[in-house]
Amino acid sequence: MHILLVGIQGSGKGTQARKILEKFNCSFFEMGQKLRNFTTLGHPKSAEVKACLDSGALVSPELVGTILQHYRDTHKGGRIVFDGIPRNADQKSLFDGVFPDYFVIFLDLERDEAIRRLAGRRIDPTTGESFPGDFKGDFSPYTGAKLVKRDDDHPEAVAKRIDTFYQNTLPLLAAWAGEGRRVYHIDASKGVDEVFSHIEVVLSAYGDEK
């Protein structure tokens, strides 16, 4: 079964995904990065995805489905950690059609704490990976790239993204529960290691430790 990490921006999904990958045999699918990667693959739809990204237009559901299918077909047999998809009911339908077997880990964080965290975070511009405000150092320990602040990580933009999560993504938790799918709630306000210890308990029940 695959793993869906769900939570508002600032809840630590990227950080926890990295820790999962360090300990468990998984690959990682982060929607924003996979969109950028897809533009370089030479796939028949790569140019169309690039045109959407370059223009700032939303990527169509058809293209999202194509990217999911391509990833499934090139990552057969392994557990995948997903971050950034599905974000709404339409994407859920697409996702379920390509990856029907998964459980959900919901990193639950209060709105005000998320805004505070995002105000201080920086990202690796080459991978999009985020680092919290208390991260020591100016360079990614994984790529060596200099960390930068996202242009839209100011309070107004953050609040808008969080509102979109509450409106479009949060209702999916009830839909998953209604389907009988396993949804694990974890308090994301705790420290990184404490949050991971709870995730580790969940994942250990499914195996695949390195």
> How far apart are the C-alpha atoms of 198 and 151, rounded to whole Å?
32
The Cα angle at residue 169 between residues 168 and 175, in degrees rounded to 5: 105
> How far apart are the C-alpha atoms of 78 and 117, rounded to whole Å?
32
Write the pLDDT tens digit of every residue in 124-146.
Answer: 888 777 787 777 889 998 899 99
Among residues of the chain, what percentage have pLDDT more than 90?
A: 38
What is the per-residue burial (b if ≥16 Cβ within 10 Å, else e) of 20-43? beeebebebbbbebbbbebbeeee
> How far apart are the C-alpha atoms of 8 and 22, rounded to whole Å?
23
**Residue 9, pLDDT score:** 85
List the domain range (segments joined by +) for residue 172: 2-204
Residue 210 has pLDDT above 70, yes or no: no
Residue 26 has pLDDT above 70, yes or no: yes
**Count of structural domains within the chain:** 1
Is residue 24 one of the residues assigned to a domain? yes
CATH, residue 116 = 3.40.50.300
> How far apart are the C-alpha atoms of 199 and 27, rounded to whole Å?
16
Is residue 168 one of the residues assigned to a domain? yes
Is residue 209 one of the residues assigned to a domain? no
What number is the average pLDDT over the span 162-189? Answer: 93
User: Which of 50-64, 130-144, 159-173: highest mean pLDDT?
Assistant: 159-173
Q: Do residues 40 and 67 lie in contact, with contact meaning Cβ atoms separated by under 8 Å?
A: no
Amino acid (one-letter) located at 71:
Y
Residue 52 has pLDDT above 80, yes or no: yes
**Residue 78, pLDDT score:** 83
